[in-house]
């Protein structure tokens, strides 16, 4: 739960505060838990929502897509990666907040675009375009990092 929050807010103290607030909220709202999803998923949703609220307080604006273009993608399978996990995490941390939030929710937390659109109060197409843009930016950052290491 802490790591999920940290990936979104990028601040250890803020993530710790969010965790504490989330657990307090969970205990206060325990009577509203209906058992439709595992309690861990319910709690994770509280943590993610609180983390996103913290981003909103920073006045992060999520871009709306002007036009979504289908561009041919490079074959990722042909790329050789000689980066450590920490290098990739550093590249993710360099992404703008809105890109990092969507990328983290989709790739690391396992939410689909419909869920992300509901969580972030954006359209499904905005979630998809934010993810696509985040992925492209991440690819560029990873390539740059690889070049500096070689």
Q: What is the pLDDT of residue 82?
A: 60
Rounded Cα gap, residues 88 and 26, in angstroms: 32
Put simply, whether the predicted model's pTM sits higher than 0.85 gets the answer no
Q: What is the pLDDT of residue 59?
A: 63
Give residue-wise pLDDT tens across range 18-63.
Answer: 999 999 999 998 888 888 888 888 898 899 989 988 877 776 555 5
Q: What is the pLDDT of residue 68?
A: 41
DSSP 3-64: HHHHHHH--HHHHHHHHHHHHHHHHHTGGG--SSS-HHHHHHHHHHHHHHHHHHHTT--PPP
What mean pLDDT is predicted for residues 82-109? 85
Residue 5 has pLDDT above 80, yes or no: yes
Q: What share of the chain is helix, strand, coil (3-state, %, to 5)?
A: 70, 0, 30
Rounded Cα gap, residues 105 and 131, in angstroms: 10
Rounded Cα gap, residues 14 and 5, in angstroms: 9
Q: What is the pLDDT of residue 81?
A: 52
Per the model's pLDDT, the better-predicted residue between 81 and 111 turns out to be: 111
All structural domains of the chain, each given as residue ranges with its CATH number in brackets, are 1-59 (1.10.1740.10), 66-150 (1.10.10.10)
Q: State the Rg of the chain over Cα.
A: 17
């Amino acid at each position: 739960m802490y790591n999920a929050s940290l990936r979104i807010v990028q601040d250890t103290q803020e993530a710790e505060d969010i965790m504490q607030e989330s657990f307090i909220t969970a205990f206060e709202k325990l009577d509203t838990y209906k058992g439709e999803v595992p309690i861990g998923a319910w709690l994770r949703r509280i943590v993610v929502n609180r983390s996103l609220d913290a981003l909103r307080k920073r006045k992060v604006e999520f871009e709306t897509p002007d036009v979504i273009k289908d561009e041919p993608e490079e074959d990722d399978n042909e790329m050789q990666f000689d980066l450590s996990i920490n290098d990739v995490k550093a590249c993710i941390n360099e992404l703008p907040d809105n890109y990092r939030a969507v990328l983290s929710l989709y790739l690391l937390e396992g939410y689909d675009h419909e869920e992300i659109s509901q969580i972030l109060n954006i359209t499904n197409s905005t979630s998809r375009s934010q993810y696509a843009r985040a992925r492209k930016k991440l690819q560029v950052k990873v390539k740059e990092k690889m070049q500096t290491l070689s």
